[in-house]
Amino acid sequence: MKILFVCAGNTCRSVMAEYLLRQTARNMEVSSCGLFAVAGSTANPLTLQVLKELGIDGCAHLTAGVNERIISAADLVLAMELSQKLLLHTAYAKYREKIFTLRGYGAADADIGDPYGADLDAYRQTRDLIFLEIKRIMKLISAEEK
């Protein structure tokens, strides 16, 4: 299964989700991108720090912008906010059946707020919320595959 995480800039939330899922489910192909990402930038230093606290090295991450090739290649696209999901639905309407919010996959839509510009504790809270959602989604995907 190929999972794509999408946020605004591909420097915080989608990066956390990508690397947390890679560590959790090594049998999946995982990537991330941003709706407004400047391609080739690095992840936010606080993102890298909160990942490192869990033993995850995200230093090699380079940002990527969303495009049809990336969306079409994914089996599941998970946005961090409802507004991002709706933008993706509009821009990539033929793929809308596989585009959800991270918190809305198998549940009611809810945003994962952007920690950009906040302190380290906000990044930790965001990381932990994303990790909880990833664990929940992995259980759903496992049940669907049976």
**pLDDT recorded at residue 14:** 98
Number of domains comprising the chain: 1
Query: Residue 49: which domain range?
Result: 2-145
7 counts as catalytic: yes
pLDDT digits (tens, 9 = 90+) for 102-127: 999 999 999 999 999 999 999 999 99
69 counts as catalytic: no
What b/e string do you get for 46-61 counting C-beta neighbours within 10 Å, with b at 16 or more?
A: bbbebbeeeebebeeb
Distance CA 25, CA 27 (A): 5
In this prediction the pTM is 0.97
**pLDDT recorded at residue 27:** 85
Instruction: Read off the CATH number of the domain in which 61 is found.
Output: 3.40.50.2300
**7, 12, 33, 127: which is the annotated catalytic residue?**
7
Encoded tokens for 106:
């198998």
pLDDT at 98 over 80: yes
**12, 13, 103, 127: which is the annotated catalytic residue?**
13
**109, 111, 114, 128: which is the annotated catalytic residue?**
114
114 counts as catalytic: yes
pLDDT at 143 over 90: no
pLDDT at 29 over 90: yes
